[in-house]
């Protein structure tokens, strides 16, 4: 009993101080919490005051930002307008750039062609310069040759002067000889004319015109024919006889010929044998030449020519005029 009583008494004594300690600690905690709360309230009050001031300042800044935003919007609108203008200008610039690039391409092509032409011209110029150099060398050689020729000419000039005197003398002699030949031919022509005139004096259809005997074609040929009639052959035989006698008397130093010219009138002819008056007049002159050759006249002393209708002696268009223009002319001349 006593032991239990002691224990119970001991237990009662030990619980109270612990309670007091716990209560003390609780009070201290409450006080600490109150202090913390008071300090928090103080700081919270200061913070709230600072918050109100900061909020007011923030409101002012927001208002300022709002004003600035409005200004920025105005500036953005202006910038949008400027940007639109810049885009338009940029498109124009791009178009101009494309055109400039195209033009530059064309100019590049043209420049390439021009460079090729320049290269070709440069090459041609080089060739031309080479040619000029060669020509200069040839010119120098030519000048040297000319100098030699001039020297030779100077050397021969004196000799030429001496020869000139001889040439002048020979010229005078030649002129005299020619005058003598002409005079001799004129003498024999006159003699030939005299003999033919005596032979043909009775024929009124044969005339003398200047230095020519003129036979009317109607006397020698039938119409549109180049064959001599028998009567014509008789007349021409006497002419050939006189010419043969005269040719034996003319010196060989005189180069004479008997020219036989055929003429027609202006009326054209067109046959298988004679396509035009040229052929008819030439054929009649050749017929006379062939007959004279057959009579013994040397062929180298005979000349045949056809004049067609282009040298009339009568300008009219009557039958009498046509008859005069159809003719064969004989002329003794020098070759």
Query: pLDDT digit string (tens) for 103-157?
Result: 878 877 787 887 888 788 888 888 888 888 888 888 788 788 878 887 887 777 7
* Higher per-residue pLDDT: 253 or 92: 92
* pLDDT bucket at 1, cuts 50 / 70 / 90: very low
**Does the pLDDT at position 222 exceed 80?**
yes
Asked whether residue 188 carries a pLDDT value surpassing 80, the answer given is no
**Spatial distance between the Cα atoms of 304 and 282, rounded to a whole number of angstroms:** 7
Mean pLDDT on 177-192: 56
In sign, the C-alpha dihedral spanning 80, 85, 88, 90 is: negative
Residues 6+ apart with CB under 8 A from 268: 276, 277, 309
pLDDT in tens, 231-245: 899 888 988 888 888
Q: List the one residue out of 312, 127, 327 whose CA is nearest residue 208.
A: 327
Report pLDDT digits (tens) over 51-71: 777 778 878 888 887 887 777
pLDDT, residue 184, reads 56
Q: What is the average per-residue pLDDT within 272-284?
A: 96
pLDDT digits (tens, 9 = 90+) for 12-64: 556 667 777 777 888 888 888 888 888 777 777 777 777 777 778 878 888 88
Q: Go through 231-242 and write b for each residue having 16 or more CB atoms within 10 A of its CB, e for each that does not.
A: ebeebbeebbeb
**pTM above threshold 0.75:** no
In angstroms, the Cα distances linking 101 to 46, 90, 104, 107, 108 are 73, 16, 5, 9, 10
Question: In Å, how far from its chain's centre is CA 39?
Answer: 115
Measured distance CA(45)–CA(26) in Å, rounded: 27
State percent of the chain over pLDDT 90: 23
Q: Which residue has the higher pLDDT, 218 or 142?
A: 218
Residue 192: pLDDT band (50, 70, 90) is: low
* Mean pLDDT along residues 156-182: 64
Bridge pairing between strands 206-209 and 256-263:
unpaired
| 280-299 pLDDT tens trace | 999 999 999 999 999 999 99
Asked if the model's pLDDT at residue 83 lies above 60, the reply is yes
- Neighbouring CB atoms inside 10 A of 261's CB total 22
pLDDT band at 276; cut points 50, 70, 90: very high
d(CA 269, CA 282): 13
- pLDDT band for position 303 (50/70/90)? very high
Q: Most confidently modeled of 24-28, 82-86, 275-279? A: 275-279
Examine the pLDDT at 329 and tell me if it is beyond 80: yes
Query: What pLDDT sits at residue 186?
Result: 62
pLDDT for residue 320 is more than 70: yes
């Amino acid at each position: 009993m006593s032991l239990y009583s002691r224990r119970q008494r001991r237990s009662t004594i030990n619980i109270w101080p612990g309670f007091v300690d716990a209560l003390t600690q609780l009070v201290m905690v409450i006080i600490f919490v109150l202090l913390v709360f008071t300090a928090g309230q103080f700081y919270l009050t200061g913070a709230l005051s600072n918050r109100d001031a900061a909020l007011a300042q923030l409101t002012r800044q927001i208002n300022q930002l709002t004003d600035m935003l409005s200004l920025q919007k105005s500036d953005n609108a202006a910038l949008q307008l400027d940007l639109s203008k810049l885009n338009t200008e940029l498109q124009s610039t791009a178009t101009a750039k494309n055109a400039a690039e195209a033009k530059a391409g064309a100019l590049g092509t043209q420049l390439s062609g021009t460079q090729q032409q320049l290269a070709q011209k440069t090459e041609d110029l080089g060739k031309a310069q080479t040619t000029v150099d060669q020509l200069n060398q040839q010119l120098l050689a030519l000048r040297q040759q000319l100098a030699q020729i001039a020297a030779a000419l100077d050397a021969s000039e004196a000799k030429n002067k001496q020869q000139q005197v001889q040439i002048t003398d020979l010229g005078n002699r030649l002129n005299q000889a020619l005058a003598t030949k002409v005079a001799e031919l004129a003498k024999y022509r006159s003699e030939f004319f005299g003999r033919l005139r005596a032979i043909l004096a009775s024929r009124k259809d044969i005339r003398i015109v200047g230095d020519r005997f003129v036979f009317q074609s109607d006397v020698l040929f039938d119409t549109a024919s180049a064959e001599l009639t028998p009567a014509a052959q008789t007349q021409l035989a006497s002419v050939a006889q006189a010419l043969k006698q005269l040719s034996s008397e003319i010196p060989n130093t005189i180069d004479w010929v008997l020219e036989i010219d055929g003429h027609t009138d202006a009326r054209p002819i067109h046959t298988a044998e004679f396509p035009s008056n040229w052929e008819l007049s030439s054929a009649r002159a050749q017929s006379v030449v062939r007959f004279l050759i057959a009579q013994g006249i040397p062929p180298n002393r005979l000349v045949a020519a056809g004049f067609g209708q282009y040298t009339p002696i009568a300008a009219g268009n009557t039958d009498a005029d046509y008859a005069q223009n159809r003719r064969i002319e004989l002329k003794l001349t020098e070759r």
